[in-house]
Amino acid sequence: MNRTVSLLWCGLLFTLSADLAGSQQAAGNIVAGVVSRWGTNEPLMDVSVQLQPSGRSEAYEVQTGSDGRFQFRNIPKGDYSLAAVHSGFIRTEYGRSRTSDPPLVLPVASNLSINGIELRMIPSGAIFGRVTDGAGEPVAAVIVRAWQQTFVEGQLAMRMVTTVSTDDLGNYRLFSLAPGKYYVSAGGTGTFPTFYSDTADTRQARLVTLTAGSMAGGINITHRAEAARTVRGTVSYSNPDINVQLIPRIPAGNQGLLVVSADIRTGAFSIPQVAPGGYILTATSDKISTRTSIEVGNASIVDVRVAIPSPIEVSARVSLDPKATSSGIDISKLLFGFHWDSDIPNLPYATYGPGKDNPFTIRLAPGDYRIRALVIPPEAYIRSIRLGTQDVLNDGLHLDASFQSPLEIIIAADTGTLEGAAANAQKRPEPNVVVALIPGGAHRQRVDLIQDVRTDAEGRFRFEHVPPGDYSIYSWEDVEPTAWMNSNFMKDFENRGRPVHIDAGVHQTISVEVIPSD
């Protein structure tokens, strides 16, 4: 086994002596473990294992021996990240399940031996195929992308994983891919991408599934260089300052949020470079907005008529409960968001706060809304919002011509704390995994009550300032960011959470079993 410690710095390799120049501070510090193949525990030799000090560009490096073991000796104390790199495998980082996860810090103290670290490497997969035009001729130098489904604040979206260009025969190969499900697109400058198999609408795209080390061939795409669509129309409203947004129902890299301003004289607007798909068109002026569903197909849309309605004035009063009063919360600094009651991400919302006036006035278009606290002290939360006997906080706010004020908003600060540990089915602590606290019962729609944290190196977690009520606690070995905020995603895990009741001002402990990845 080669135990030579090297220093990677600015692309050059410098070999250091085993005692790191005789550093007394580093004496006795050891970081050691084993690298194996995921799923079989077969040791992997000649793997580059890199130990990188936090905040620095250089990294110490060793190679594993035939037994897959590695060891760093006489490492200066400090915080480090640890990674294993080997051809044909996905880069593996200590305590990190996916690249979107934050790195897990490995602290090294004086005269400390850290042994038994296990790094399991997953064989990488590949997707390959050919891109041709409508006549069957190869398309050279076109960009091919791999995408995966993700979530943005709990709503479905797509993120780009990697890109390649086709060769002169139209061939491509997307490589170094982790197991999972992928969308594949081909597209060039000035045109929208074509997704496998042969559609520009992401909702009709087909998935390509990879297992560890698998290859998916014959993923051929017929790329038709069609011009992007245009959406044109007119907005009518008395205020000339009008902002128009075209928001995809499923955000993806081929089509993000499109924003234009309407003509101040005529209200006309034109949105270019629109890919086929489903959208919400919103028009907003002076915090008053309206929305319209748009389906973009094989042709541009040139006569969209939008009218921003006259607003409804709402009076709202904010009160503090005794604990919030004693905490010194300043009502004038609170800020509330009035969001459309919709599962479409990125919809515009209105923000209002009491400022110097309490009660204060809110102007909103008719429709259905959810109310959240945008600016509020960490120890405080909205206890209730009522309109007479109606529970607006949990049931939502419906505005129409019959609406009568006022809204009564009560702020409380009697939160509890919850801490514990996450472990797998074998009772081993799980470091750096997500633990999510999800409200239950009548509060299920309260996304403002959802909290999430990550476990530390010993699998421990802590939630501060939890509003009283009933919750379920979940933890996953591997999960897309904010997926737990999506109600459809959570349907598959309804019976996997552990119920917990949070009492006002009480500190509680709990253990949770981590849900393994597929």
**Ordered domains of the chain (ranges, CATH):** 6-121 (2.60.40.10), 125-222 (2.60.40.1120), 230-307 (2.60.40.1120), 312-412 (2.60.40), 416-513 (2.60.40.1120)
The pLDDT score that the predictor gives to residue 13 is 30
* Integer angstrom CA distances of residue 131 from 73, 138, 181, 340, 506: 51, 6, 20, 41, 61
At 170, is the pLDDT very low, low, confident or very high (cuts 50, 70, 90)? Answer: very high
The pLDDT score that the predictor gives to residue 20 is 35
The pLDDT score that the predictor gives to residue 442 is 72
Lowest average pLDDT, out of 75-89, 148-162, 327-341, goes to 148-162
Q: Please give the single-letter amino acid code of residue 153.
A: E
Residue 19 has pLDDT above 70, yes or no: no
User: Which secondary structure element, helix H or strand E, spans residue 422, and what is its range?
Assistant: strand 416-423
**Sheet (strand 30-37) strand order:** 69-73, 30-37, 113-121
Residue 16 has pLDDT above 50, yes or no: no
User: Which secondary structure element, helix H or strand E, spans residue 395, and what is its range?
Assistant: helix 392-395
At 14, is the pLDDT very low, low, confident or very high (cuts 50, 70, 90)? Answer: very low
Token pair, residue 358, equals: 């309490």
Torsion angle, alpha carbons of 372, 376, 382, 385, to 10: -60
What is the residue-averaged pLDDT of the chain? Answer: 87
Percent of the chain with pLDDT over 90: 59
DSSP label at 379? T
Could you report the per-residue pLDDT of 241-292, keeping only the tens digit for each?
888 998 888 766 545 567 788 888 888 999 988 888 889 999 998 888 898 9
Average pLDDT over residues 311-332: 94
Residue 199 has pLDDT above 80, yes or no: yes
Q: Cα–Cα distance between 271 and 301 in angstroms, integer? A: 10
CB burial of residue 137 (10 Å; 0-12, 13-18, 19+):
exposed
Beta strands in 153-211 (DSSP E): 155-165, 171-177, 180-187, 194-195, 208-210
Q: Are 371 and 385 a contacting pair, CB within 8 Å?
A: yes
Could you report the per-residue pLDDT of 63-89, keeping only the tens digit for each?
999 999 999 998 898 999 999 999 999
CB burial of residue 232 (10 Å; 0-12, 13-18, 19+):
middle
Q: How many residues does the chain have?
A: 518
Contacting residues for 282 by C-beta, under 8 A, at least 6 apart: 244, 245, 247, 289, 290, 291, 292, 347, 348
The pLDDT score that the predictor gives to residue 188 is 61
Q: Please give the single-letter amino acid code of residue 228.
A: A
| Phi then psi dihedrals of residue 366, to 5 deg | -55, 145
Q: Highest mean pLDDT: which of 193-202, 295-304, 308-317, 344-353?
A: 308-317
At 103, is the pLDDT very low, low, confident or very high (cuts 50, 70, 90)? Answer: confident
Cis geometry, peptide bond prior to residue 293 (ω within 30 degrees of 0): no
Residue 2 has pLDDT above 80, yes or no: no
Q: Cα–Cα distance between 1 and 71 in angstroms, integer? A: 10
User: Which secondary structure element, helix H or strand E, spans residue 259, and what is its range?
Assistant: strand 258-261
Residue 372 has pLDDT above 90, yes or no: yes
Residue 28 has pLDDT above 80, yes or no: no
Could you report the per-residue pLDDT of 457-513, keeping only the tens digit for each?
899 999 999 999 999 999 999 899 999 998 889 999 988 999 999 999 999 999 999
Q: Cα–Cα distance between 238 and 309 in angstroms, integer? A: 10
At 1, is the pLDDT very low, low, confident or very high (cuts 50, 70, 90)? Answer: very low
> Strand 312-320 vs strand 243-248: parallel, antiparallel, or unpaired?
unpaired
At 9, is the pLDDT very low, low, confident or very high (cuts 50, 70, 90)? Answer: very low
DSSP label at 147? E
Q: Are 37 and 22 a contacting pair, CB within 8 Å?
A: no
Model pTM score: 0.81
CA nearest neighbour of 365 among 237, 194, 189, 175: 237
